[in-house]
Structure 1
């Protein structure tokens, strides 16, 4: 893939990419042997010895291809119509086959390039002279629009480094811009300075890819709205369980296991949510949820009826000027504690009680970390608390309020965990407990033992489920997990993950449902 004329090489690695692309723009070697060539009259497929296998007459330019074992996807730009033309390449059969074209863009295509992601899916970027651009998924019966994005004016052509999942485009007189090519990523770019090299950073363990099984209906508003989920398990029929999700602008959503919204509680700007079931309060077992409310800096307490219908019970003041994250702890001795934090790093632990139908809260403990926290989760069985300091990592300390607040670093930001450290949840399996942490910086999820020595078991990402038309997850804030048998694909439990960027097509945020069995199989747990 050639870059625009007068390209400014902003990084040594990019100069290599651009130079190599320029030399092979009319003739590209196929992985596994053979060549694909484009001249003024046709696209040619030849074997390794140069013997012609197939020819497609066309007037086109800007050839790009992704192949494996001699077959794959090619794309060219029709010189007459300015349409992107996808072509299936099969060197074993000696065939070049035109595929379904992209629908007509509302702009003239000036540049295009292909990208193959970690999941093995092929995407096509198309760009216009005025900076308009789109990313298309090139699988199935027809291409699907994944997202719209902006590129430099007059960028013309582009190229993608699959290994670094980075899209490069040149802006004449300015330099070369680098974009995250993964469609789930934030629409950000960085200018590569002349002579600079891309930062290598610590080599992380590879992340496997799992597919979501379902997704919730999108939230009602655009922007950064959805944040944190919690899973309520129906005591008689687990298939009728519910997923709670916070709406940072409005309140609390309640979904069923198919992702259909069943309730919306307009209770103000909720950030994090957590719940416990079968809590003994004033001699009665009840199911309770709590959420951090950012309008009045309070803790909102919710109750459930027998069918999972949610209602607000009361609110407690936190005393914080800017309440943020929240989680629950159910001690073995009984009762219920709420752990809440603020953006300054302070934590407060309250004991919740009920007497004669009246709810109360009592401050039981305070402690602090050095910078902004948010996510936290308690391991009730072992009475351990895990807290996330967004830029530093995951800490653990005793969960009981009558214990010292000395903490230990469990997993630092670095090789496997990329800031911000966000949502956390604990999977209580028969063979032990696992801590799942949202590594927001690279849109992955780290799984580690929830007990000493806190061994990292692996990392995973959530990719596309093409059969169900569901996109993956990225930029995740909150997540939750249960080991309860919810039926169907969730017989070993379910993981619910907030998706920061809804794709295919672009839209309001939502939550994705992931089978724990899929995660366990992928990570060999």
Structure 2
């Protein structure tokens, strides 16, 4: 998801120092640690990816959703103090991987709802729930990658939603645990049905894969119309999110900026088009920040996390702890770390 940005990036002395430390081949970040403001309660198994829902009536009552990745998994809901909200959590999910959220999906001609989507890998399904009432809209799940004859290529992993700035249509862009060198991602259009459920229609296959490691993190910049994904062993890749604009790769960047795996991507976006991409350098324990417009590396931060996969950001004020917005990162001890977005500036 996308929300805010970093205005007036500058190549400061601190950034120059970061580049020196980065280039020395250190396996762990040597940068000063930026501590989280809040750490969530522990989940049962393995945290993986967060999504943030902003409560339109009271931002202080916003919810952070996070996947707990196991056969007996869960989409946990947390409040802004990091406490689990049992009545908003979704249990008994068979290995949920990634989760994403969008606002204002038209259930019918007169009603809209916010939605979360997540992959349920062991059932080979994409799931859609309404927020905040947490009702399933998918009739139990939508099978993905069924067109691929290779069963090993049918297990979903990454997902990002996209709300078109062209016509307001909703899409899910889904990746998989293992896949081919071409057309690694499938894009499905999500439309309402008369029974208050949704339908899914495959509209395109796209996305090159290096064959090194895997592709998990996917993030879409709705306003600018771009989708980014982490080809973990090679680079961050960029395509048009709008199906009609074709499947040509627009850019590949960051190949020299990571120790090993290129992981979670969060897009912070401002209305004026400025912003940043925050990307996890997993083994080094750092986050690389790229300019939203140019995709140039502008900052490197040590946020005191370990082995971060997924991350997410919103830029509106939520409460006294998160006056500048909220950045959330998964940590490998079964928690999520919360930061006031001002700490990343």
Bucket of the pairwise TM-score, normalised by the shorter protein: 0.7 to 0.9
Cα separation, 1, equivalents of 2:321 and 2:36: 10
Cα separation, 1, equivalents of 2:297 and 2:35: 21
Of 308, 326, 347, which aligns to 2:159?
Answer: 326
Of 93, 108, 127, which aligns to 1:282?
Answer: 108
Aligned: 1:236 with 2:57 = yes
**How many residue pairs align between the two structures?**
300
Of 480, 484, 489, which aligns to 2:316?
Answer: 484
Query: Can you list the C-alpha shifts for 1:167-216, whole angstroms capped at 9, x where unaligned?
Result: xxxxxxxxxxxxxxxxxxxxxxxxxxxxxxxx954999974532100011
Change (3 A) 1:367 1:418: same
Tell me what 1:251 maps to.
Answer: 74
In the alignment, structure 1 segments of 5+ residues that lack a partner are 1-162, 165-198, 464-472, 503-508, 521-525
Aligned: 1:335 with 2:169 = yes
Cα separation, 1, equivalents of 2:259 and 2:105: 35
1:285: Cα distance to partner? 2.0
Query: What SS is found at the alignment partner of 2:85?
Result: strand
Cα separation, 1, equivalents of 2:226 and 2:30: 29
Alignment of 1:105-504 (within 5 A): 201=25, 207-221=31-45, 225-249=46-70, 250-263=73-86, 264-266=89-91, 267-283=93-109, 284-304=111-131, 308-314=132-138, 315-318=141-144, 319=146, 320-332=153-165, 333-342=167-176, 343-345=178-180, 346-356=184-194, 357-370=196-209, 371=211, 372-414=214-256, 416-429=257-270, 432-451=274-293, 453-463=294-304, 473-500=305-332, 502=333
Cα separation, 1, equivalents of 2:28 and 2:253: 13
1:358: Cα distance to partner? 3.4
Change (3 A) 1:310 1:442: same
State whether residues 205 and 459 of structure 1, in contact with CA within 8 Å, keep that contact through their aligned partners in structure 2: no
Cα separation, 2, equivalents of 1:409 and 1:420: 19
State whether residues 162 and 241 of structure 2, in contact with CA within 8 Å, keep that contact through their aligned partners in structure 1: yes
TM-score by length of 2: 0.82
Structure 1 window deviating more from structure 2 (207-216 vs 397-406): it is: 207-216
Cα separation, 2, equivalents of 1:482 and 1:488: 15
State whether residues 29 and 286 of structure 2, in contact with CA within 8 Å, keep that contact through their aligned partners in structure 1: no
Aligned: 1:516 with 2:337 = no
Query: What SS is found at the alignment partner of 1:489?
Result: coil
Change (3 A) 1:408 1:207: farther
Change (3 A) 1:442 1:282: same
Relative contact order: is structure 1 or structure 2 higher (C-alpha 8 Å, sep ≥ 6)? 2
State whether residues 413 and 419 of structure 1, in contact with CA within 8 Å, keep that contact through their aligned partners in structure 2: no
Change (3 A) 1:203 1:487: same
State whether residues 393 and 409 of structure 1, in contact with CA within 8 Å, keep that contact through their aligned partners in structure 2: no
Change (3 A) 1:458 1:321: same
Cα separation, 1, equivalents of 2:191 and 2:40: 34
Cα separation, 1, equivalents of 2:260 and 2:143: 30
State whether residues 395 and 410 of structure 1, in contact with CA within 8 Å, keep that contact through their aligned partners in structure 2: yes
In the alignment, structure 2 segments of 5+ residues that lack a partner are 1-19, 147-152
Cα separation, 2, equivalents of 1:439 and 1:419: 7
Larger Rg: 1
TM-score by length of 1: 0.54
Query: What SS is found at the alignment partner of 1:234?
Result: coil
Query: Can you list the C-alpha shifts for 1:78-124, whole angstroms capped at 9, x where unaligned?
Result: xxxxxxxxxxxxxxxxxxxxxxxxxxxxxxxxxxxxxxxxxxxxxxx
State whether residues 281 and 335 of structure 1, in contact with CA within 8 Å, keep that contact through their aligned partners in structure 2: no
State whether residues 229 and 273 of structure 1, in contact with CA within 8 Å, keep that contact through their aligned partners in structure 2: yes
Q: Which has the higher strand share?
A: 1
Cα separation, 2, equivalents of 1:203 and 1:216: 27
